[in-house]
């Protein structure tokens, strides 16, 4: 299994620039905020006005996790996300959370 690299960031950071750099490398499969769908669509923690969800994307924690793991079987992956979307699930899932190489963005 290949690496799963997660960039955890706060709202309005410059992390999209970092995501772009990772995409341009060409050796990673990149996901943009995969756990956002669980937070806003599946658990409905709060509404997200003017959000047009992609019907092809998984929407609950288990299916998102499985997508990431399946993809990591093929090649290394990178995703950026907000930790508050998923921290409670990761705390209860040490097998998955231990697979993630975490980096943090504060700018």
b/e 15-31 (16+ beta carbons within 10 angstroms → b): beebbeebeeeeebbbb
pLDDT in tens, 53-67: 999 999 999 999 999
- The residue ranges of every structural domain in the chain are 4-105
Question: Could you give the 3-state DSSP secondary structure of residue 39?
Answer: helix
Query: Residue 82 pLDDT more than 90?
Result: yes
pLDDT in tens, 11-38: 777 788 888 999 999 999 999 999 999 9
As a whole number, the mean pLDDT across the chain is 93
Average pLDDT over residues 86-106: 93
Going by C-alpha positions, the residue among 13, 1, 60 that lies closest to residue 34 is 60
- Output the pTM of the full model: 0.90
Q: Residue 105 carries which DSSP code? A: E
């Amino acid at each position: 299994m290949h690496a799963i690299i997660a960039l955890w960031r706060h709202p309005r950071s410059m992390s999209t620039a970092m995501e772009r750099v990772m995409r341009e490398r060409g050796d990673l499969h990149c996901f943009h905020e995969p756990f956002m769908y669980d937070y806003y669509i599946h658990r409905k923690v709060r509404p997200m006005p003017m959000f047009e969800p992609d019907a092809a994307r998984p929407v609950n924690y288990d299916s998102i996790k499985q997508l990431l793991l399946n993809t990591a079987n093929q090649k290394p992956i990178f995703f950026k996300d907000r930790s508050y979307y998923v921290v409670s699930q990761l705390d209860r899932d040490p097998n998955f959370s231990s697979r993630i190489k975490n980096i943090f963005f504060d700018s």
